[in-house]
């Protein structure tokens, strides 16, 4: 199959919406990362997503809708807190897990009786959903285990030959995935930190629990290998002492014949002297925006170890720490 990268035009939105209606897969931009979409009410179409990504079938998909009416179409009963959260944060990088309606096939929910729903902010995504006339289930549009795609080119590199269309909306604004919040337990519970920082959620939702990753798969996707480039990733978690330990690791790796690179904020680069760096930008928001793209860039430039700077916890920093721990496979220095 040929894979076409299409600019966002009304003709291309229609072409892709027709493909979704016909049970095909379409990759599309959102404000977080690119999604690999299919008609969420069509079991066969949803199953194609798992095959294209090489995704385990017990890892459920997020259903993307364009409005709160779209949420009602797939959720049994919208709890009052969901309405409050929707008013504050939707469209945006927040996904809510609620009891599903029977019309949502189990291929979408990994056999669970709940469904994860979000209203993306990207206008291309909203146009595609509206033109399709159906909810669109979509995981991130990467091969399973790889860093999530934040440009159409990343999607192409992973899924070339496996999907007909990629809508190209440029680089995703936020760069890491949505925050997943479970509303089916007694207290709302963050299953995956993401683009919406927990502090902002607490302002509206009050007290929140954070799911512990103790082997019980609350958010089934979190148990799998994630966000991994070909290079090995080392995560420098100890924020205060990190520049010295990063230099020591870099030198040790270089001496043993490896080709390491330090992923750092541009303001910290001078601490590393003439060692190779990949600068992720000035702020933590820049770091989030560039993290996945730069992990892929490290592979393109043939580095075989990425030493990633840690960040302070809180705000988008807590989501960044989560992604860095995952992409390093827990190799913390």
**Whole-number minimum distance, CB 322 to Mg ion, in Å?**
13
**How many of the other CB atoms lie within 10 Å of CB of 253?**
17
The answer to the question of residue 59 lying near ligand TXA (CB under 6 A) is yes
**Whole-number minimum distance, CB 77 to ligand TXA, in Å?**
15
Task: Give the CA angle between residues 75, 79, 80 to the nearest 5°.
Answer: 140
Four-point Cα dihedral 279, 221, 157, 105, nearest 10: -140
For Mg ion, which residue has the nearest CB?
140
CB 24 within 8 A of CB 179: no
Q: How far apart are CA 92 and CA 205, in angstroms?
A: 16
The answer to the question of residue 322 lying near ligand TXA (CB under 6 A) is no
The answer to the question of residue 323 lying near ligand TXA (CB under 6 A) is no
Contacting Mg ion within 129-158 (CB under 5 A) = 140
Q: How far apart are CA 259 and CA 305, in angstroms?
A: 6
Q: Which C-beta is closer to Mg ion: that of 140 or that of 328?
A: 140
For ligand TXA, which residue has the nearest CB?
221
Closest by CA to 269, choosing from 279, 283, 259, is 279
Q: Which C-beta is closer to ligand TXA: that of 315 or that of 333?
A: 315
Helix (H, G, I), strand (E, B) or coil at 137: strand
**Whole-number minimum distance, CB 64 to ligand TXA, in Å?**
6
Q: Specify the length of the chain in residues.
A: 333
Contacting ligand TXA within 184-243 (CB under 6 A) = 191-192, 219-222
Q: What are the CA-CA distances from residue 245 to residues 65, 236, 257, 270, 306 (Å)?
A: 46, 8, 19, 15, 14
Q: How far apart are CA 3 and CA 287, in angstroms?
A: 30
The answer to the question of residue 277 lying near Mg ion (CB under 5 A) is no
Q: Which C-beta is closer to ligand TXA: that of 195 or that of 260?
A: 195
The entry of Mg ion, ligand TXA, none near residue 33 (CB within 5 to 8 angstroms by kind) is ligand TXA
Can you give the binding site for ligand TXA, defined by CB under 6 A? 30, 32-33, 35, 59-62, 95, 97, 109, 112, 114-116, 118, 138-140, 177-178, 180, 191-192, 219-222
Q: Which residues bind Mg ion (CB under 5 A)?
A: 140
């Amino acid at each position: 199959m040929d894979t076409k990268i299409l600019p966002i035009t009304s003709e291309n939105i229609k072409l892709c919406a027709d493909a979704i209606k016909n049970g095909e897969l379409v990759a599309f931009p959102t404000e977080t990362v690119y999604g690999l979409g299919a008609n969420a009410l069509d079991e066969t179409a949803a199953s194609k997503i798992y095959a294209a990504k090489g995704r385990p079938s017990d890892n459920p998909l997020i259903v993307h809708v364009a409005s709160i009416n779209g949420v009602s179409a797939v959720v049994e009963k919208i709890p009052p807190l969901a309405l409050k959260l929707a008013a504050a944060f939707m469209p945006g990088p927040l996904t809510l897990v609620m009891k599903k309606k029977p019309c949502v096939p189990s291929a979408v929910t990994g056999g669970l009786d709940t469904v994860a729903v979000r209203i993306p902010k990207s206008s291309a995504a909203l146009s595609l959903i509206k033109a399709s006339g159906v909810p669109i289930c979509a995981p991130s549009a990467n091969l399973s285990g790889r860093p999530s795609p934040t440009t159409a080119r990343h999607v192409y590199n992973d899924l070339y030959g496996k999907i007909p269309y990629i809508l190209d909306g440029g680089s995703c604004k936020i760069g890491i995935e949505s925050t997943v919040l479970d509303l089916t337990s007694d207290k709302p519970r963050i299953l995956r930190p993401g683009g919406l920082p927990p502090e902002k959620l607490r302002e509206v939702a009050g007290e929140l629990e954070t799911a512990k990753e103790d082997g019980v798969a609350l958010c089934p996707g979190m148990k799998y290998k994630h966000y991994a480039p070909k290079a090995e990733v080392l995560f420098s978690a100890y924020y205060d002492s990190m520049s010295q330990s990063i230099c020591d690791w870099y030198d040790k790796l270089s001496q043993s014949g490896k080709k390491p690179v330090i992923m750092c904020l541009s303001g910290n680069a001078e601490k590393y002297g003439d060692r190779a760096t990949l600068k992720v930008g000035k702020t933590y928001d820049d770091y989030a925006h560039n993290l996945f793209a730069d992990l892929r860039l490290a592979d393109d430039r043939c580095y075989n170890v990425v030493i990633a700077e840690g960040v302070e916890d809180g705000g988008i920093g807590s989501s960044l720490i989560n992604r860095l721990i995952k992409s390093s496979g827990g190799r913390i220095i």
